[in-house]
Amino acid sequence: MGEGDQRRQRQDRLRHTGMRRPCTSLLAVFAALVSFTAVAQNYPTKPIRILVPFPPGAFNDTLGRIIAQKFSDGGIGQAFVDNRAGAGSTLGSDLAAKSPPDGHTLLEVAVPFAVNATLYTKLPYNTERDFTAVIFAGSTPNILVVHPSVPVTTVQQLIALAKANPARLTYASTGSGTSNHMSMELFKMMTHTDIVHVPYKGSAPAVTDLMGGHVMMIFDNTPNVLPYVKTGRMRGIAVTSLKRSALAPELPTVDESGVKGFEVLVWFGVVAPAGVPREIITRLNTEINRILLMPDVRERFQAGGVDPVGGPPEKFGEHLKAEIAKWGKVVKATGARVD
C-alpha cells in the first residue's frame, strides 16, 4: 500500500470518528429530554409536602392548607401541610432547601424569608441560590396601632413624642425578622427616632400585652388588630401600604402622613428547592393561579384581610430579590439583630 493510500485511510477513519461523536452526543441529549419530559408528565408520583415554617393559625398556615386541600380535591394530586416552626422560620426553610428538587416539597414564605438573608450572620442555606420561585400568592398591609393611653392620634404626633422621649417608648413584634419588627425598624430609620423593641412569640401574646398596656404600640397585620381598633381597645394610627386599605379606609397611610416613601407589604408566596424542572414549576404555578381565582378561596383571603396576587414565577422571583435588597439595607442601617 502506497503512502497516499495510507493517508487516505487515516483521513477516512478520522472523518467517520468525527461523525459518530456528535451523533452520540445528540442521542444523549435527546434521551435526557425524553426522560425530563416523562418526569414532568408523571408528576406527582407521591404526596406533595407543603412546609410551613410557622405554627398553625397564621395566614401562612391558612394558605398552605388551602393549597393542600385544592391540590387533593381534583387538582395536581394529594398534598399535606407540615408545620416546622422555629428559629425565625429558618428551620423549615433549611429543611426545604435540602429536600430533593423533584417538586414534592414546597415552602410557604413571607417577609421573614427575605429579612433573614441579612438578619442572621450565618444561615444553613443561601436564600437566593437554594430556592426557586413558584408564585406570589397574596399581600396585605400592617396597621400601626397604639394603646389608648398613648397621647397621639397621628403619625406626626407619634414622631414628636418619640423624639421627646428617646428610648422610652416601646413597641411589640411577633419576633425578630417579622414584618412587625421590620416595619418599626424602617419607621425608626426614616424618622430618626429611638423606640425599644419588645419581641413576642406570636401575634396573640403581643396583642394581649398591648391591650394590657405593657407595651405601647405595634405594626401588626390588619386582621390581627382591626377588630380591637373598631371596639376602641386600640387606637389605629396609619396603614403601611401606599394606598389606603379598603378594610380601614378611614386610616391614612404612613406615606401620606408625612413619612414619604414608607411602604411595607406583608406578602405570602410559595417557593421550591432550586433545580426543580421548569415544567413542574410551570404546572404548580398554573394550578395555584387557578386556585387563587376560586370564589371560596377569595372569600377566605378576604376574611384574612389578604389580597390575592398570582402571576408567573418570574414576578415572585423579582419581588423576592427586591425584598432581600430592601430589608438588607434596613438591617444594616439599624443594626437589627436576632433577640
| pLDDT tens digit sequence for 250-274 | 999 999 999 999 999 999 999 999 9
**How many whole angstroms separate alpha carbon 15 and alpha carbon 10?**
9
The answer as to whether 98 is a domain residue is yes
Q: Are residues 95 and 136 in the same domain?
A: yes
pLDDT in tens, 189-200: 999 999 999 999
**CATH code of 234's domain:** 3.40.190.10
Domain with residue 83: its CATH number is 3.40.190.150
Judge whether 216 lies within some domain: yes
Is residue 152 one of the residues assigned to a domain? yes
Find the mean pLDDT for residues 232-246: 95
Do both 85 and 119 map to the same domain? yes
pTM: 0.81
What percent of the chain is modeled with pLDDT above 70?
A: 88
pLDDT at 36: 47
Percent above pLDDT 90 for the chain: 73
Q: Which residues are CB-contacts of 300 (< 8 A; sequence separation ≥ 6)? A: 62, 66
Pair (191, 278) in one structural domain:
no
| pLDDT at residue 81 greater than cutoff 50 | yes
**Region class of 213: left (phi > 0), else alpha (psi between -120 and 50), else beta:** left
Q: Which pLDDT band, with edges at 50, 70 and 90, does 9 fall under?
A: low
Per-residue pLDDT of 160-190, as tens digits, reads 999 999 999 999 998 888 899 999 999 999 9
Kindly state whether residue 63 falls inside one of the protein's structural domains.
Answer: yes
User: Greater confidence, 18 or 207?
Assistant: 207
Together in a domain, 113 and 66: yes
Residue at 30 is within a domain: no
Position with higher pLDDT, 211 vs 29: 211
Q: What is the mean pLDDT of residues 306-314?
A: 96
Check whether residue 231 and residue 147 sit in a common domain.
yes
Judge if 130 and 273 occupy the same domain. yes
pLDDT confidence band for 334 (50 / 70 / 90): confident
Q: Are 174 and 231 members of one domain?
A: yes
Asked if residue 314 and residue 230 are part of one domain, the reply reads no
- Give the separation between CA 126 and CA 218, rounded to whole angstroms: 30
Residue-level pLDDT at 5 = 60
Residue 257 in domain: no
pLDDT digits (tens, 9 = 90+) for 61-76: 999 999 999 999 988 9
Domain tally, the chain: 2
CA angle 251, 222, 185 (to 5 degrees): 85
Query: 29 falls in which pLDDT band (50, 70, 90)?
Result: very low
| Direct distance between the N- and C-terminal alpha carbons of the chain, in angstroms, rounded to an integer | 87
Do 317 and 282 lie in a common domain? yes
The one-letter amino acid at 73 = D
What per-residue confidence (pLDDT) applies to 87? 84
134 plus 275 within the same structural domain: yes
CB-based burial label for 227 (10 Å; 0-12, 13-18, 19+)? exposed
Give pLDDT tens digits for 123-150: 999 999 999 999 999 999 999 999 999 9
In angstroms, rounded to a whole number, what is the distance separating the alpha carbons of residues 167 and 163?
Answer: 9
Q: 144 - beta bridge partners?
A: 219, 238
Q: Which amino acid does the sequence have at 328?
A: G
Grid coordinates given for 64: 398552605
d(Cα 292, Cα 308) in Å, to the nearest integer?
6
- Residues 118, 171: one domain? no
Predicted confidence band of residue 302 (pLDDT cuts 50, 70, 90): confident
Q: Tell me, what's the pLDDT at 33? A: 46
What span, in angstroms and rounded, lies between the C-alpha atoms of 253 and 144? 10
Residue 120 lies in a domain: yes
pLDDT at 339 over 70: no
**Residue 236 in contact with residue 158, Cβ under 8 Å?**
no
| 134 and 150 fall within a common domain | no
Mean predicted confidence (pLDDT) in 316-322:
97
Q: What is the pLDDT of residue 10?
A: 58
Peptide bond into 47 cis (omega under 30): no
Give the pLDDT of residue 26. 53
- Boundary of a domain, candidates 239, 258, 286: 239
Identify which of 115, 62, 107, 64 has the alpha carbon closest to the alpha carbon of residue 88. 115
Domain span holding position 222: 141-239
* Domain contains 168: yes
pLDDT of residue 251: 97
